[in-house]
Amino acid sequence: MATDADGDVEMTVPQPVFEVVQPPSLGAWDQASLVSWVRQRRQYEAKIRNRCAVTGEQYEHIVTSIRNSIEPRILDHLARFVLKKPSSAVNDEDLGLAITRRCSSLQNSHIPDMDQLFQDQLRMDLSIEDTEAHILNYFVLFDKIVEDHGLAGILGSGREDEANYAERMKLRCKILMKNIAPEMLKLEMERLAIAKPAIKKDDIALYEALVERAPL
């Protein structure tokens, strides 16, 4: 045990040990790679923020920048052909905006048959017994499909101050309503929408209504 100058035992508190968190590396510019990288980057940043909350370290001092997470050859090409500025002048804000635009754009400007797309891929997992958990899982899956297919500009939740927010929200709710299961719950929600039209244009209202009605 350690003692101080007076010979008293010093009580020490063990410091938490954190695993070394490596930032995801971006080595391709195709939409699928970018969507995957964005998800990994979110997880990485969350772990770093959690560490800082415990240790008191400054987030900006230990997080790896987006710029330093991109392979040099990709960074050089982005600077020249996408951002049209010298590589040395490119910062994280430039790169973040470029990545967001790319992830939110339709692949090769092709608009898929959205009804068929969500009919094929969007399912309520009724094997999850916890009502709120399976409703949440349904919404998470919906947003994953939106991200995977570059539909954020059409179906992303986004911000309320964006020009097409209301139209996006109506379409989100329409598709979410259309794929509700079981059929009895779907019919119940369609009837409820007549009395509470907000659930047709507000995904939070729709979520809350589903959580409330699903157990009935």
125, 137 in Cβ contact below 8 A?
yes
Domain shared by 119 and 177, yes or no: yes
Residue ending a domain, among 104, 131, 156, is: 104
Residue 80 neighbours by CB under 8 Å, 6+ apart: 87
Mean pLDDT of 197-213: 95
pLDDT tens digits for range 138-164? 999 999 999 888 888 888 888 888 878
Domain shared by 153 and 192, yes or no: yes
- pLDDT of 79 reads 94
Q: In angstroms, rounded to a whole number, what is the distance separating the alpha carbons of residues 114 and 191?
A: 24
92 in a domain, yes or no? yes
* Longest CA pairwise span in the chain (Å): 78
pLDDT tens digits for range 32-51? 888 889 999 999 999 999 99
Percentage of residues in the chain having pLDDT higher than 70: 88
Side-chain-side CA neighbours of 182 within 13 Å: the count stands at 5
Comparing 32 with 17, which gets the higher pLDDT? 32
> What is the overall mean pLDDT for the chain?
88
Question: How many beta carbons lie within 10 A of that of residue 68, not counting itself?
Answer: 12
Concatenating the DSSP letter of every residue in 152-191 gives HHHH----TTSTTHHHHHHHHHHHHHHT-SSHHHHHHHHH
22 in a domain, yes or no? no
Q: How far is CA 186 from CA 47, 85, 143, 175, 179, in A?
A: 38, 52, 20, 12, 8
64, 23 in Cβ contact below 8 A?
yes
Mean pLDDT of 165-180: 94
pLDDT tens digits for range 88-114? 999 999 999 999 888 877 665 566 788
14 in a domain, yes or no? no
Domain shared by 127 and 171, yes or no: yes
* pTM (predicted TM-score): 0.66
- pLDDT of 7 reads 59
Domain shared by 121 and 149, yes or no: yes
- pLDDT of 110 reads 60
The whole domain housing 71 covers: 31-104
Comparing 15 with 157, which gets the higher pLDDT? 157
Residue ending a domain, among 53, 87, 104, is: 104
Radius of gyration of the chain (CA): 23
7 in a domain, yes or no? no
Asked whether residue 59 carries a pLDDT value surpassing 70, the answer given is yes
35 in a domain, yes or no? yes
Local structure of 93: helix, strand or coil: helix
Most confident of 22-31, 62-71, 126-135, 207-216: 62-71
Domain shared by 190 and 98, yes or no: no
120 in a domain, yes or no? yes
20 in a domain, yes or no? no
Residue ending a domain, among 104, 129, 144, is: 104
